[in-house]
Amino acid sequence: MFDEKKSYNNNTYSVNVYIYNDDISLSAPDLITNEASGLIPPASILYIMIENSLDGFIPRAELEFKDDAHALSNKIKAQNCRMHINIRKSAGDEIVTYNLTFIVKDYKILNASSEYTQYHIFGELDNAIPLNTLCEYATSCDLSNDNEQPENPYKIAWSILTQVGYKLYPLTVKNEDGKEIPTKYELPYLNDYCHFITYPNMRCIDALKYLFSYAVGENGTNPPAYLIHNLRDNKGYITTLENCFRPSSIRTQPKCTAFPFSITQSLVPNKEFKMDDVNTYSLDSGTENAQQFFNYKFAEYNQEERLWETYDISKLTLNDLLTRGITNSDEASIFLKMLKEDISLSKYYKYVPHSHPIFYDVMRNLELYSSNLQFSLDGDMGFDVGQVLSIYEKGQNDSKVEQFNGRWLVYKVQHSFKNKLYRTNLVLCRRFHKYSF
């Protein structure tokens, strides 16, 4: 299968792409079968892009190719069409592979003639199948003594993912003594428990959204969690950014993340760590920087008391939460030491009525969008979301450029293969803090 070669950045990659379709349903993913007749010759592939992001639960891909003699046109359909992308490269003693199947969601005909048809195909990773599978779950209650048994919402989410066949990393492994020890993929710590029961026709992804929202808490006592799907292993895990920044998590990252990056000159004489096309911005889909300086007010109607109840989340609470466990968090507060003002009189963002999903979105936006950095570099298949990168930018008189300096988390990655070039575009965020080297 790996005899199809293609050159990117003067390196040789094994590239295989299949287009096929089958009569399957979301509840029967095992019926997917590869058809050798659907192979796209590497010479016909004009563009491959694979994207992963904390914005959504499902990685996506784009593919552009020329269908010579219209050999594949009958396989490209809007329903039950798949594209299987296998890219492999030897990295020293290690072989790095992407072995991913994407569901075709849409396609465009860019050019058509009597000799060929040029397609642009849009797909999402087939982890969408278990995420959209119907699930059933209910916490226990002993009816004889009314003994309720609430559970950790992250544990419930993990159980539902397992139930629908989602590929997950193990929470524990056995050490040399045969004892179970936690991995970096262990569930985030949470002291809150809840009752949960699925409604009819509830999908796995709907259950996750509710459980992640509930876990944040009414008063913002917990950081938001994310379902991260790793492209290289094609597995997922539930985590928080706080867990991603732990030294034990950083130590297990790929070699490509081990050295500091730089805009001007990397500490390591290797262009792999040179940042190109650098841009700092707050994404339009996120929150404005100014929102981190304000409080939040949520309200909900108490049906039993027939009264409106209000939850006030001050920026002091936000600061403590989003800098928890961070070195020198006091010096890196989100309101930049502006402690002399009367917090109770500062502006409130109001949300009426209160709902857990809205507050989860607020916390997620503050984490992901308040401080962003984007750059490109020579492609490396080791980069993925959830990784922590170090940037060291030297200023005048050996000072550090604080706008860039420190540790950042990859929340979005794009791998693009085009015109014999392989580029990786990274979008980073940081949690209102500055790490020092």
- Higher-confidence residue of 244 and 430: namely 244
Domain boundary among 125, 159, 177: 125
Provide mean pLDDT across the span 160-168. 97
Same domain assignment for residues 238 and 147: yes
Same domain assignment for residues 30 and 68: yes
Q: What is the DSSP string of 60-126?
A: EEEEEEEEETTSSTTT--SSSEEEEEEEEEEETTEEEEEEEEEEEEEEEEEEE-SSEEEEEEEEEET
**Average predicted confidence (pLDDT) for the chain:** 81
Confidence of residue 36 (pLDDT cuts 50, 70, 90): very low
Return all residues near 129 (Cβ < 8 A) that are at least 6 apart: 26, 29, 103
Same domain assignment for residues 42 and 71: yes
Extract the tokens encoding 169.
Answer: 């990393």
Same domain assignment for residues 212 and 173: yes
Q: Pairing state of beta strands 421-429 and 406-418?
A: antiparallel
Residue with tokens 């642009």: 120
Same domain assignment for residues 154 and 75: no
Q: Which residue range(s) make up the domain with 173?
A: 127-244
Provide mean pLDDT across the span 162-186. 92
pLDDT digits 0-9 by tens, 306-344: 888 887 777 777 766 666 655 554 444 554 444 555 656
Residues of the chain above pLDDT 90, percent? 41
pLDDT digits 0-9 by tens, 280-291: 765 544 455 546
Q: How many folded domains does the chain comprise?
A: 3
Same domain assignment for residues 113 and 168: no
Domain boundary among 309, 325, 350: 350
Q: Residue 53 has what pLDDT? A: 96
Same domain assignment for residues 19 and 121: yes
Residue 65 belongs to domain with CATH number:
2.40.10.10
Residue with tokens 């969408």: 128
Q: Residue 237 has what pLDDT? A: 97
What is the C-alpha to C-alpha distance for residues 18 and 270, in angstroms, rounded to an integer? 35
Domain boundary among 125, 142, 168: 125
Q: Residue 352 has what pLDDT? A: 72
**Is residue 35 a part of any domain in this protein?**
yes
244: left (phi over 0), alpha (psi -120 to 50) or beta: alpha
Same domain assignment for residues 75 and 32: yes
**Is residue 163 a part of any domain in this protein?**
yes
- Of the listed ranges 8-12, 69-73, 351-355, the one predicted with least confidence: 351-355
What is the C-alpha to C-alpha distance for residues 291 and 366, in angstroms, rounded to an integer? 8
Confidence of residue 435 (pLDDT cuts 50, 70, 90): very low
pLDDT digits 0-9 by tens, 124-163: 999 999 999 999 999 887 656 656 688 999 999 999 999 9
Cis amide prior to 188 (ω within 30 degrees): no
Provide mean pLDDT across the span 413-429. 94
pLDDT digits 0-9 by tens, 90-100: 766 678 999 99
Examine the pLDDT at 80 and tell me if it is beyond 90: no
Same domain assignment for residues 143 and 190: yes
Same domain assignment for residues 199 and 116: no
Q: Residue 31 has what pLDDT? A: 53
What is the C-alpha to C-alpha distance for residues 10 and 380, in angstroms, rounded to an integer? 13
Return all residues near 172 (Cβ < 8 A) that are at least 6 apart: 180, 181, 182, 183, 186
How long is the chain?
A: 437
Examine the pLDDT at 60 and tell me if it is beyond 80: yes
Q: Residue 21 has what pLDDT? A: 78
Same domain assignment for residues 75 and 36: yes
**Is residue 360 a part of any domain in this protein?**
no
- Higher-confidence residue of 397 and 198: namely 198
Same domain assignment for residues 20 and 105: yes
